[in-house]
Structure formats: C-alpha cells, structure tokens
Amino acid sequence: MEILHRFIGPNDCFNHLAYVFVQPHHLIAGIVFFIGIISLLIIYMLFYLVYRERKSRLRHQLRQQYSEFISYLAVCESTRELQEIMDQPEWKNKLAAWLSHSFSRNVLVRELVTTVKNMSGTAAENVSWFYRHTGLDKDSYSRLKKGKWHVKARAIRELAYLKQKQYLTSIYRYTNNRNEKVRNEARVAIVQLTGFEGLRFLDIITYPLTEWEQLCLLHELSLHPIQSFASTSRWLQSPNLSVVDFSLKLIETYKLYELYDEVVNCLSHPDKSIRKKAVEVLKEIGKSDTASLLLQQLKEEEPEVQLTILHVLEQMATENEVAGISPFLYNSRNELKAAAARVIGKVSTGGWTTVEKLINPAASPWDELLPFLKQEIEL
C-alpha cells in the first residue's frame, strides 16, 4: 500500500480514482490471468511445433519411399510392365497403405508433379498413367471443386502437369474466375494441355491478364508446336486491354507479318499503352513504309508514345525521315530531344554534324547532352 501511495498522489484526481477502484488483489489476479494466457500460448506453440516436426519427418520418410517406387514406374517401357510392378506384393501392400490416407496421397501427388517437371517422354507418360490408374486424379478434382482458392489453384496445377485432359472443360470454367491465382493457373493449365488451341479463352475473359501471366502463357506456348493464329485479329478488337496487349505480344514473338494492317490499326487505339506496344511490334514486322507511317504518328502522339516511336525509328528511319524528326530537337522535354538527336545522328548521312547544324551545341542542355550521346553511340 505504501508503495502505491508513493506512486499515486492523493491530489491527482485520476490516480486517486484508480487507487479506489483497483485494489492490489485485482492487479495480482490480472498478472495471474496473463501468465496463464502466455503459458497456454507457449504450450499450444510447443504442441504445434511437435506436430509440424512429426509431419515433416513423415513427409520425408514418405518421399524416400515414393522416390524408389516412382523411379521404377518411370523406367517402365510398356503398360504391361507398369501393371507388373503394381502387382508385385511388396508394392501392392505399400500402395494400399499410401492410398488409404489423405496426407500420404497428397505427398504422393506432389512427388508425381515434381517428377513430370523433371522428366518427359515415356517416363512422364507412365507417371500420368499411374496418377489416373490409382484414382489420384479424382482427389485433385474434388479439391478443385470444393477447396479454397489456393487448394483449387494447386489442384488445377496437378491436373495440368499430369496431363489429365479429361478435366479440360472443368478447368476451362476457371479461366475467368474472380480469384487472380485460380484464373492464372487455369489459363496456363489450358495452354499446357492443348497448346495454341487453348488460347480460345481469350474470347471470353473479362479479368485482365497480368504481365506475369502473359509471360507464363508465352513460355507454355513455346513448348508446343505452332498452330493457327487465325483468332489473333479478333483478339485485337477485344474490349479487354490485356487481351489486345497479349495478342500484340503473340504477333511480336511469332512474327505474324500477315497481321501488319491490324497492328497499324492499333496505332489509333484509344489506350496509350496499346499504341505503345503496337509501335514496338511494328519494329519486328515492319515494311518499307513503316518508318514514314510512324513519323506521321509521331506528330500526333502523347510524349510517352513519341519516345517509343523515336526509339523504334532509331532502327527503322532513313535520311527521308530526318526532316520530320528534327522539330523534336526543339521539344521542351529533354528525353525527346535526346531521342531525336540519337535518331538523326544515327540515320542521317551527315551523322552528328547534321545534328550540330540543327542545334546550338554550346547552349544548354546540348553542351552537356551532346558529348554524352556521342559517347553512347561510340560504345
């Protein structure tokens, strides 16, 4: 009490009230309560750690057992050989035990996926056969139907890696799912299973394709034989901007010269990023008149697109375009000035002398900019 008196002055109204209502036994009860809570938390954490440790040990043991079994499957040369291995009493009993628990089934599926990521040909086909033959595909499918978003995404990945084309229609439904991860997995899975044909989901999707998703799709497509690009011109008309962007990337990657006119039409697209991408694509599939076309576009564009056009003109322009580009040497933006100087310095017959004739090399910012640009070109 004396100690409390020392800290709680009787003149202090708030402290006085606290002294009246908070008795020492209240404090002791509070301390005991919080110690109890902390102890419970520590006990829970310890139990959880032990549980996690056990699971991880079990997973490790299972992985070791599976690796031997899967390896035997992978080197089989016929379905009969596969069946013979599965019928061996040693494996038959183990398989029955593995397939009876959901945890061991999950680990097994993960191992099968790892295997097909590393192996192709007959080995991968054998693993897919086993996955379907043992009904593990149904496990993945039920997770796809009932699970949370991350469970669904994993199920889609499993079905795709293990080449389960019979679930194509179900996976297709998820290509426009409201969850980004689920729809990303579904889109990539469709292409993984059917190649270029799978891109038909571009007709229906309303959610955007992220940059990462586009990269994944392009990577998957690179693993398939090239098929028809007939739908690409339709996708260029899509109200979904990311679909237009991806179509332009397809044209750029696969050099679809036959779609030149459609790409030129994209230069009048209301979205700036699409116009920018179209300019970049024209660099890849350009014709003899592309430079003059871009020069025309240059005058009407926003600064960001103008910069892209000037970069592209560095590769495509000729002496004929120099007169059209030279007004940009007097632009208020230094980056446009520099880009225009680069083009003229590179493509005009006079080189840097032409640039120096058009500007005042001693005046700012050219006194600093010009030596730097010259050095850049020399390098």
Partner 1 sequence: MKILVAEDEPIMLKTIELRLKKDGHEVIATDNGRTAMEQIDLHHPDLIITDIMMPYVSGLELVGKVKAPGQPNVPIIVLSAMGQEKVVLEAFNLGADDYITKPFSPNELSMRVRRLAQNTKNQTLADKV
The stretch among 67-75, 79-87, 186-194, 322-330 that binds partner 1 (CB under 8 A) is 67-75
Q: How far apart are CA 136 and CA 117, in angstroms?
A: 18
- For 193, other C-beta atoms within 10 Å of its C-beta total 21
Stretch that binds partner 1, among 63-71, 79-87, 99-107, 341-349 (CB under 8 A): 63-71
What is the closest distance, in whole angstroms, from the C-beta atom of residue 339 to partner 1 in the complex?
31
- Dihedral sign for Cα 359, 365, 371, 376, please: negative
Q: Which is nearer to partner 1, 31 or 75 (CB)?
A: 75
**Contact flag: residue 63 with partner 1 (CB under 8 A):** yes
Answer for which of 30, 37, 44, 68 binds partner 1 (CB under 8 A) is: 68
CB 340 within 8 A of CB 328: yes
- Looking from the CA of 239 toward its CB, the CA atoms found within 13 Å total 4
Helix axes 24-74, 102-118, angle to 10 degrees: 50
Q: How far is the CB of 42 from partner 1 (least distance, A)?
A: 34
| CB of 188 closer than 8 Å to CB of 160 | yes
Site for partner 1 in 13-52 (CB under 8 A): none
**Least distance (Å) between residue 35 CB and partner 1:** 44
- Alpha carbon of 56 to those of 35, 52, 220, 315, 379: distances in Å? 31, 6, 32, 57, 55
Number of other residues whose CB lies within 10 A of the CB of residue 151? 14
Stretch of residues binding partner 1 (CB under 8 A), selected from 9-17, 70-78, 335-343, 345-353: 70-78
- Of 4 and 119, the one with the shorter C-beta distance to partner 1 is 119
Q: Is 119 in the site for partner 1 (CB under 8 A)?
A: yes
In the bound complex, what is the minimum distance in angstroms from residue 118's beta carbon to partner 1? 5
Does 260 help bind partner 1 (rule: CB under 8 A)? no
Of the residues 85, 108, 124, 278, which one makes contact with partner 1 according to CB under 8 A = 124
State in Å, rounded, how far the first CA of the chain is from the last one: 83
Binding range to partner 1, per CB under 8 A, among 120-128, 178-186, 201-209, 249-257: 120-128
The answer to whether residue 191 forms part of the interface with partner 1 (CB under 8 A) is no
- Contact with partner 1 (CB under 8 A) among 114, 176, 194, 354: 114
- Asked whether the bond before 365 is cis by omega within 30 degrees of 0, the reply is yes
Among 1, 21, 87, 121, which residue interacts with partner 1 (rule: CB under 8 A)?
121
Nearest to 20 by CA among 32, 8, 3: 8
| Tokens standing for residue 190 | 């469709």
Q: How far is the CB of 231 from partner 1 (least distance, A)?
A: 28
Q: Which of 62, 74, 295, 370 binds partner 1 (CB under 8 A)?
A: 74
**Among candidate residues 209, 199, 212, 290, the one with its CA nearest the CA of residue 243:** 209
Site for partner 1 in 93-112 (CB under 8 A): 111
Residue 71 in contact with partner 1, rule: CB under 8 A: yes
Residues 6 or more apart whose Cβ sits within 8 Å of residue 237: 244
Nearer to partner 1, 112 or 340 (CB): 112
Q: What is the binding site for partner 1 (CB under 8 A)?
A: 63-64, 66-68, 70-72, 74-75, 111, 114-124
